[in-house]
Structure 1
């Protein structure tokens, strides 16, 4: 055996492998599957998709898109919101814009049976660099 100045013996010697115990897995119990809320969410999201399609159709109008981009560029939030409301969508829309793009957030409306909205559709589009 040769002399190694960088070797420092460790006492007690560390084994080449570590032993450990694995906690045994116990079978988990899950609640029964109830799809009522999920089915309502799917139906609500279909409405959001339809409303999003109406929004996109209106945004593809050359006169409308120029007006909305011009108002946004000038920072006229209330005018942009009024233009979006003039489309006549059945769901609330939150509009956010920057110099490089615009975001529309469509949400379902809460009702008496569900006080919170279930679904959100976000549409993000780029209109500048």
Structure 2
């Protein structure tokens, strides 16, 4: 046989032996659903929501809000963190702020059973132009 540049191969290719190309649809098998971790996350997130509500109640106090915005405007992050700690929330809070807004990240605390935090509630609010 000689090489013919105008000869195109047949698609799909003819199998080398019968049964080589089998057109079975891919069917993935998944493990059975286990909602234990998800249920714990839901419970933990409820705590975050409760703590977030306490945070918002305190931020709604005009005196507290004025004090926090004043020290934030002066760039005193340690004092802002101290004000947030004075609320005595049961979960850690990370505070980030700019001249136009503030972000609070409430996270669940790791335990021996769950060494990593499962959930984070991010509260992002505008407080300037």
TM tier relative to shorter chain: 0.7 to 0.9
Deviations 1:26-68 (Å, cap 9, x if unpaired)? 1110011000000000000000000000000000000000000
The separation in 2 between residues aligned to 1:26 and 1:126, in whole angstroms, is: 49
Counterpart position of 2:38: 38
In the alignment, structure 1 segments of 5+ residues that lack a partner are 1-11, 13-18
Counterpart position of 1:89: 89
The separation in 1 between residues aligned to 2:116 and 2:25, in whole angstroms, is: 37
How many residues of Structure 1 are paired with residues of Structure 2 in the alignment?
A: 112
Give me the CA root mean square deviation: 1.7
Q: Which runs of 4+ in 1 moved over 4 A?
A: none
Shift of 1:127: 0.4
The separation in 1 between residues aligned to 2:52 and 2:67, in whole angstroms, is: 19
Q: Normalization by structure 2: what TM-score? A: 0.82
Counterpart position of 2:67: 67
In the alignment, structure 2 segments of 5+ residues that lack a partner are 1-5, 13-22
Q: Normalization by structure 1: what TM-score? A: 0.82
Deviations 1:55-91 (Å, cap 9, x if unpaired)? 0000000000000000000000000000000000000
